[in-house]
Structure 1
Amino acid sequence: MATIPTLSYPEFDESVIHHLLARLAQLCDEDLPPELVAQLTVDEPPESAMPDCWQDTYLMVGYLRSLNQALLANMLPGKVAEDLAGLLHDMVYILRDYVREPYRTH
């Protein structure tokens, strides 16, 4: 009989992840200093890593936090948890690439 893999996180990791995502949400709301905006602003922006429908980083961080909480609950079937863990991973890297992009004045 095949076993269903489960995701488990030590309690310490859960609080660290929760703290980091909460801090990320705060940072997404703060304005950058003007000198940093000047350094990050370009005339011809490259193609964005983030789809147009996800340009609001605060909303994206909210999605990531909710997805993380669903995984931490450890109540999902194995394959679903595995797929969602992969989605969480990919979304974090997309968000990372997006916040590294030059500032866009829409």
Structure 2
Amino acid sequence: ALYITETVFSEVTYLLLGYFSNLAPRTLKGKKDKLPPEIQVVFKALRGFGFIESTQRTVFKAMELIEKYAMLPNDALILATCIEHGFALATLDDDFKVPAEKEGVSIITG
């Protein structure tokens, strides 16, 4: 099974809102008529994943990862979730390479 977190949902949606609208995602706030129709395809795809909620333990592990590797908060939450659940991480983001390797998390790239 494939899983995502609320953080992954947020990052994917934010990125693709900008990509499909050709606008800065923050400028879409409150402008329903500006939302790209492709967002429905994105939501349909995301509904196919299982969702894993963050726990206090996940957040504490993320804090540790931020201090240890100077990771950004969302990246640290994603990696902490993988560590907590024994998941591999599917990503194209090179920022995960060293921390994931050192924490024993397998990376799946495209």
State the TM-score, normalized to the length of structure 1.
Answer: 0.26
More strand by proportion, 1 or 2?
Answer: 2
